[in-house]
Amino acid sequence: MDYATPGNVKDIHGNSFNSHNFVHVFQRTFHYDSHIWSNRIVYNVAGGKTGFDQEETKLPTYWKTPLSKICLGMRIGLQIKFIVININANSLFSLIADGNYRATSLGRNRWKTLIGSKASLQPNCNKEGFNAISNKQDDAKARIGIIGNNQNACSDGKSRIGFGSGGAIDDFNTCGNAAHAGSDKGEQHIKAMGYILYPVHTKA
């Protein structure tokens, strides 16, 4: 990503995204297991008008607006980092609400840029996308993100970077990076404020 203003982000291709358009994730409100991901009920609409702050929000664009790409941002301290996923769908709701896994192909290194130099993942599995979850329900999971595992299979994931996350090793970390001591940068419990944005030209 190129730069951010209080309510907008522009990528290197000139695509603009607006923080008023989507979901802001931080506390257990947006835990992986929360019904907030599977219902069509707004949450704190006023929080969607305040820019890149600590206000959680869920707006009607979550289920009303078709998309060809989304911008994902994580704020840790005063720094916000962004990545873009190119994905065609009727809405983000249609990608998440039914709980079915839908893959993306950004790669683990791209996901780690959301966190920075301390980002940590186990070396294998690398299951990424929407509703990324280990084979065991209590292990690492993320509504949007990537999970890691020490074995090639995704049967015992203990690390993740994501939005709407939960499970091992830190079920209270719902946005950011949680990683087992065997991960590439060791054990981490990095909590972030998450922003999920639409392009500003997209109409609800």
Burial (CB < 10 A; 0-12, 13-18, 19+), residue 83, is middle
Write out the residue range of the structural domain in which residue 23 sits. Answer: 3-90+193-199
Give the per-residue pLDDT at 15.
Answer: 55
Residues 80, 122, single domain; the answer is no
How many domains does the chain contain in total? 2
Whether residue 85 is found in the same domain as residue 132: no
Enter the pTM of the model.
0.88
The answer as to whether 182 is a domain residue is yes
The answer to whether residues 79 and 117 belong to one domain is no
Q: What is the pLDDT of residues 16-74, one digit of tens each?
A: 555 544 555 667 899 999 999 999 999 988 887 777 888 888 989 899 989 999 999 99
Per-residue pLDDT averaged across 72-83, rounded?
92
Phi, psi values for residue 48, rounded to 5°: -80, 0
| Nearest one of 32, 30, 69 to 199, comparing CA atoms | 69
User: What is the average pLDDT across 141-149?
Assistant: 97
What distance separates the 2 farthest-apart alpha carbons in the chain?
44
**Cα gap 173→193, rounded to integer Å:** 11
Joined together, the tokens standing for residue 154 give 């995704």
Co-location of 85 and 113 in the same domain = no
For 98-116, letters b (16+ CB in 10 Å) and e give: eeeeeebebebeebbbbbe
What pLDDT does residue 202 have? 43
- So what's the pLDDT on residue 96? 97
Strand residues in 39-174 grouped as ranges (E): 57-58, 67-76, 79-89, 102-103, 124-133, 141-149, 159-166
Over residues 153-198, the pLDDT tens digits come to 898 899 999 999 999 999 999 999 999 988 999 999 999 999 988 8
Same domain for 159 and 124?
yes
pLDDT for the residue numbered 164: 95
Output the pLDDT for position 37. 96
Residue 146 lies in a domain: yes
DSSP letters for 100-117: --EE----HHHHHTTT-T
pLDDT value of position 148 = 97
Backbone angles phi, psi at 162, to 5 degrees: 180, 180
